[in-house]
Chain A
């Protein structure tokens, strides 16, 4: 049986470069407070940051929901942005549609989705053109996951 341990939802504004990383850094401190092992927290932080930045840059904002239960951690990002026309292409490292202005700030390496994939046990992306995109990432806790409390 799985029990929910922790749940949090963030609203992310589009194009809000002043508040970047708020959702992901808040999630990181929450996970630390709940006692999630640092190996898991680090992976979750990378996923949360990359989904947050994609919501800001590509989707005009959205929400990030995170859910911790006894056996897994889930991060769900939902937006009503333009959608991703070719998900396989978007997943390729180096592929980015970011503008030059955004690239100058250090975004648009086309590495965000690859970073998510590398750090999640399961990554599901659904997208419909003109409707929006949802990204679901799951990290499973294993028997070796050492809880800090």
Chain B
């Protein structure tokens, strides 16, 4: 699944467009940054309630192309700016992480 396929099928509030041609390889759901550092794989979409700048650094280091904040969480301004600078797709949704995963599952991964 490419990022733009997911974004075209469901409604997200997009704060940073990023490179929407990038292929998503899986999902990581975590709010502990060191957990993500240890467990995430390159290409995964990251669902987290953390909305501060540090999230972008972790995404860059783990080659995470897309971040989704669930349950109406709004990203901080510096997170938005950093994601734009790093070409990472950043969006939020009013839906829960569970609902977002169902959407992602409906689109499906190429594997």
Contacts and interface: CB of A to CB of B under 8 A. Distances in A.
Interface in B33-82: 33-35, 37-38, 42, 48, 50, 52-58, 60-63, 78
Interface magnitude class on chain A: 20 to 34
A24 B42 contact: no
Contacts of B48: 106
A115 interface: yes
B34 A50 contact: yes
Contacts of B62: 42, 45
Majority SS of interface residues in chain A?
A: helix
Contacts of A25: 57, 60-61
B32 interface: yes
A111 B38 CA distance: 8
A148 to B, nearest CB: 15
Contacts, number: 71
Given A105-B54, A106-B54, A21 B61 contact: yes
Contacts of A10: none
A106 B38 CA distance: 14
Nearest to B30: A106
B37 A50 contact: yes
Majority SS of interface residues in chain B?
A: helix
B34 A112 contact: yes
B41 to A, nearest CB: 10
A106 B50 contact: yes
Interface in A81-128: 105-107, 109-112, 114-115, 118
A115 B34 contact: yes
Contacts of A24: 57, 61
A42 B33 CA distance: 16
Interface in B1-50: 31-35, 37-38, 42, 48, 50
A115 B61 contact: no
Interface of A: 17-18, 20-22, 24-25, 28, 42, 45-46, 48-50, 53, 105-107, 109-112, 114-115, 118
Interface of B: 31-35, 37-38, 42, 48, 50, 52-58, 60-63, 78
Given A45-B62, A53-B34, A107-B32, 14 more contacts: A17-B53, A17-B54, A21-B58, A46-B61, A48-B61, A50-B37, A106-B55, A107-B33, A109-B34, A110-B34, A111-B32, A112-B37, A115-B34, A118-B38
